[in-house]
Amino acid sequence: MRIRIVVADQTLELLDEQDAPIRRYVISTALNGVGEENGSYCTPRGSHIVRAKIGAGQPANSVFVKRRPTGEIYTPELGAQFPGRDWILTRILWLSGCEPGRNRLGNVDTMRRYVYIHGTPDGVELGRPGSKGCVRMRNDDIIDLFDQVMAGVPVEILESAG
């Protein structure tokens, strides 16, 4: 099993061992496009793994700060109180790069950049870039994906399907 993210299509596919699609989800990657440099707020390309799964058993719309649940449940009213906040909700799949010099170690380390696949408020538009580097998903979709993958699953982030 592996995950393939195609930035141009704004899709995430869960593939079986023969690369046949099991599920396909609409996502949102970085508003700033693709790139690996720390501080760029871009989505990193290349080969990754899910280093850690965070949030098992938490309710949908649980709010996370620094990978820890705050005890809050996201509502539009909470969102209105903190309009500039980058909401990380429901589940987190924390990515780690596998390619030294490209997305691992030094100034390009995906894990040290805190790049995740995570849930986002229902009102956030998916299908077009909008994040600060992470991969945003609908809350029901991240729960579905989270429940199907193990830590260590390969993740490939491609600019285009070609």
For residue 77, the model assigns a pLDDT of 96
The domain locations on the chain are 2-158
The answer, yes or no, to whether residue 156 has pLDDT greater than 90, is yes
The answer, yes or no, to whether residue 162 has pLDDT greater than 90, is no
The answer, yes or no, to whether residue 69 has pLDDT greater than 80, is yes
| Amino acid found at 28 | S
Tell me the mean pLDDT in the region 24-49: 98
For residue 127, the model assigns a pLDDT of 98
Please give the Cα distance from 45 to 140 (Å, whole number).
25
Please give the Cα distance from 120 to 114 (Å, whole number).
16
For residue 161, the model assigns a pLDDT of 84
Q: Are 121 and 79 in contact (CB under 8 A)?
A: yes
Residue given tokens 């600019």 in the structure block: 159
For residue 84, the model assigns a pLDDT of 86
Please give the Cα distance from 156 to 141 (Å, whole number).
18
CATH number of 2-158: 2.40.440.10
Tell me the mean pLDDT in the region 62-79: 97
pLDDT one-digit tens code per residue, 89-145: 999 999 999 999 999 999 999 999 999 999 999 999 999 999 999 999 999 999 999
